[in-house]
């Protein structure tokens, strides 16, 4: 196949080339898309939902949507923007569903707190300025942010996307995204300062 | 010295290296004059580095196999066709279902008890209607309570308005006795006098 030939030659096809091939019926191109995006999408969704199992389900569903709606993608936007938009929408839906479930489930009360519990002796406040912060603490504090702030800070500082791309993914103006990222960073550093 | 809030929006621009040379110079000067603000910016820089270095999360081993299986299943059951069908008919179906629920609720409130049995009032209406329609028009029997409750009595065939004559006496306290089959016992019905005025 064309994709295999190019890979064997050492050429790395762009995302847009892969989706174009997939739209023409090259299933191998879809496999390459999955391999390229599965980890970064899982990273984003997992940090957004703070639940590994749910995150993997959401990423699976994202690829299924890509498979089903492959002809809906137009090359006016970057492929990464498109796939992150799908993943972001599904994650937000999942988050809302979880909140609704929590409202009706008494057994869930207090569970969130338990998930975040971290042994305090692992951390030394003096090391804060040396940027030694444990992943779990950061994750805990990220999850304390509102979903709006959490989404943009993850896309910007964890996924490393451009502000313009984030604006398209979350469907808000560029200025709003920049402002949200700034506020999210300030809030997060404030929370980390208190927790350490 | 400028207020800190004026510079708060510059933090991210500084961290993202989006400040112009002049802006950057002014901002650094401001930070030198404000050690507290400088500490915040340092913490922000450190936070950004830590976020970028968060370890990646790996998918489970069977991730791609599960995905392929799901795709195969969808292909077999024709998800697209089913999905399109439900998308197209979802709103009419929901509208019909809502109307049906509303109808059932109202009919239940009016004449049917929640256990499915007819209410007493319905039984009386039904029985009296049956009595009156099964007899010849010149010999129609009406239940006394029916007239007390509502001066106008309608059937499916026609509306009959009952206007009691002046000399007619009615026992308002008289109850209606309904037997187990839903029929009204004769002693609780009253034959319409000859001078009764009926309007159709």
- On whether both A76 and A127 belong to a single domain, the answer is no
- On whether both A52 and A133 belong to a single domain, the answer is no
pLDDT of residue A108: 46
Tokens linked to A43:
């990273």
Give B112's strand partners. B118
- Do residues A32 and A13 lie in contact, with contact meaning Cβ atoms separated by under 8 Å? yes
Q: How far is B19 from chain A (nearest CA, A)?
A: 13
- On whether both A128 and A160 belong to a single domain, the answer is yes
pLDDT of residue A173: 95
Helix or strand (DSSP H, E) at A131: none
- How far apart, in whole angstroms, are the C-alpha atoms of residue B199 and residue A90? 67
Give B153's strand partners. B160
Boundary of a domain, candidates A75, A91, A108: A108
* Chain A residue closest in CA terms to B64: A34
- On whether both A123 and A31 belong to a single domain, the answer is no
Given a cut of 60, whether residue A101 has pLDDT beyond it is yes
- How far apart, in whole angstroms, are the C-alpha atoms of residue A115 and residue A108? 11
Residues B14, B15, B21, B23: what is their CA dihedral angle, to the nearest 10 degrees? 0
Of A191, A97, A183, the closest CA to residue A143 belongs to A191
Q: How far is A138 from chain B (nearest CA, A)?
A: 8
Confidence band, pLDDT 50/70/90 cuts, at residue B168: very low
The answer to whether the Cβ–Cβ distance between A67 and B71 falls below 8 Å is yes
- Do residues B70 and A63 lie in contact, with contact meaning Cβ atoms separated by under 8 Å? no
* Chain B residue closest in CA terms to A161: B52
- Do residues A118 and A137 lie in contact, with contact meaning Cβ atoms separated by under 8 Å? yes
Tell me the pLDDT tens digit for each residue of A110-146: 444 344 434 444 444 445 444 445 788 889 999 999 9
- On whether both A79 and A172 belong to a single domain, the answer is no
Backbone phi, then psi, for A154, in 5-degree steps? -70, -45
Given a cut of 80, whether residue B26 has pLDDT beyond it is yes
Q: β-strands B141-143, B189-191: how paired?
A: antiparallel
Boundary of a domain, candidates A108, A138, A153: A108
Q: Using CB atoms, which residue from B8, B47, B49 is nearest to A189?
A: B47
A193 touches chain B (CB under 8 A): yes
Q: Using CB atoms, which residue from B57, B74, B80 is nearest to A46?
A: B57
- On whether both A82 and A175 belong to a single domain, the answer is no
pLDDT, greater one: A10 or A71: A71
Q: Using CB atoms, which residue from B9, B50, B56 is nearest to A131?
A: B50
- On whether both A131 and A148 belong to a single domain, the answer is yes
- On whether both A16 and A104 belong to a single domain, the answer is yes
Q: What DSSP line would sit under B10-38, residue for residue?
A: HHHHHHTT-S-HHHHHHHHHHHHH-HHHH
Question: By CB neighbour count within 10 A (0-12 exposed, 13-18 middle, 19+ buried), where does A7 fall?
Answer: middle
A57 touches chain B (CB under 8 A): no
Boundary of a domain, candidates A90, A108, A126: A108
- On whether both A70 and A119 belong to a single domain, the answer is no
- Do residues B147 and B162 lie in contact, with contact meaning Cβ atoms separated by under 8 Å? yes
Highest mean pLDDT among A14-18, B5-9, B83-87: A14-18
Q: Is the ipTM of this complex over 0.85?
A: no
- On whether both A73 and A162 belong to a single domain, the answer is no
Question: By CB neighbour count within 10 A (0-12 exposed, 13-18 middle, 19+ buried), where does A24 fall?
Answer: exposed
Tell me the pLDDT tens digit for each residue of B70-103: 998 888 776 656 566 666 677 788 888 889 888 8
Backbone phi, then psi, for A189, in 5-degree steps? -70, -30
The answer to whether the Cβ–Cβ distance between A31 and B64 falls below 8 Å is yes
Highest mean pLDDT among A77-86, B167-176, B184-193: A77-86
Highest mean pLDDT among A2-11, A95-104, A115-124, B110-119: A95-104
> Which residues of chain B does A68 touch, with a Cβ-Cβ cutoff of 8 Å?
74, 79-80
- On whether both A2 and A79 belong to a single domain, the answer is yes
Query: Looking at residue A186, which CATH number applies to its domain?
Result: 1.10.10.10
- Do residues B175 and B188 lie in contact, with contact meaning Cβ atoms separated by under 8 Å? yes
The boundaries of the domain holding residue A174 are 110-196
- How many separate domains does chain A show? 2
- On whether both A128 and A185 belong to a single domain, the answer is yes
Query: Looking at residue A57, which CATH number applies to its domain?
Result: 1.10.1740.10
């Amino acid at each position: 196949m064309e994709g295999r030939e190019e890979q064997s030659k050492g050429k790395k096809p762009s995302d847009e080339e892969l989706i174009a091939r997939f739209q023409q019926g090259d299933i191998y191109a879809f496999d390459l898309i999955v391999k390229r995006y599965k980890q970064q999408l899982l990273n984003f969704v997992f940090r957004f939902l703070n639940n590994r199992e749910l995150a993997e389900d959401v990423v699976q569903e994202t690829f299924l949507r890509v498979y089903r709606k492959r002809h809906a993608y137009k090359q006016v936007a970057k492929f990464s923007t498109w796939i992150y938009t799908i993943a972001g929408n599904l994650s937000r839906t999942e988050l809302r569903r979880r909140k609704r479930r929590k409202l009706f489930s008494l057994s869930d009360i207090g569970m969130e707190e338990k998930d975040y519990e971290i042994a305090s002796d692992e951390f030394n406040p003096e090391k804060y300025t040396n940027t030694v912060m444990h992943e779990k603490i950061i994750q805990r504090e990220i999850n304390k942010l509102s979903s709006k702030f959490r989404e943009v800070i993850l896309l910007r500082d964890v996924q490393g996307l451009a502000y313009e791309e984030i604006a398209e993914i979350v469907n808000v103006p560029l200025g709003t995204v920049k402002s949200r990222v700034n506020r999210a960073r300030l809030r997060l550093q404030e929370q980390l300062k208190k927790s350490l | 010295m400028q207020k800190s809030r004026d510079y708060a929006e510059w933090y991210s621009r500084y961290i993202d290296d989006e400040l112009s040379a002049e802006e950057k110079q002014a901002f650094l000067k401001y930070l030198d004059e404000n050690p507290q603000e400088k500490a915040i910016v340092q913490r922000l820089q450190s936070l950004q580095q830590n976020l970028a270095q968060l370890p990646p999360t790996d998918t489970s081993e069977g991730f791609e196999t599960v995905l392929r299986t799901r795709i195969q299943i969808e292909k077999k059951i024709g998800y697209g066709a089913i999905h399109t069908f439900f998308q197209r008919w979802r709103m009419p179906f929901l509208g019909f279902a809502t109307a049906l629920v509303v109808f059932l609720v109202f009919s239940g409130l009016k004449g049917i008890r929640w256990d499915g049995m007819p209410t007493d009032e319905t039984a009386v209406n039904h029985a009296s209607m049956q009595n009156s329609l099964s007899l010849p028009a010149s010999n129609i029997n009406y239940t006394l309570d029916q007239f007390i409750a509502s001066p106008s009595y309608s059937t499916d065939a026609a509306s009959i308005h009952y206007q009691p004559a002046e000399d007619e006496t009615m026992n308002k306290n008289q109850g209606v006795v309904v037997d187990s089959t839903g029929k009204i016992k004769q002693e609780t019905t009253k034959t319409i006098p000859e001078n009764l005025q009926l309007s159709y």
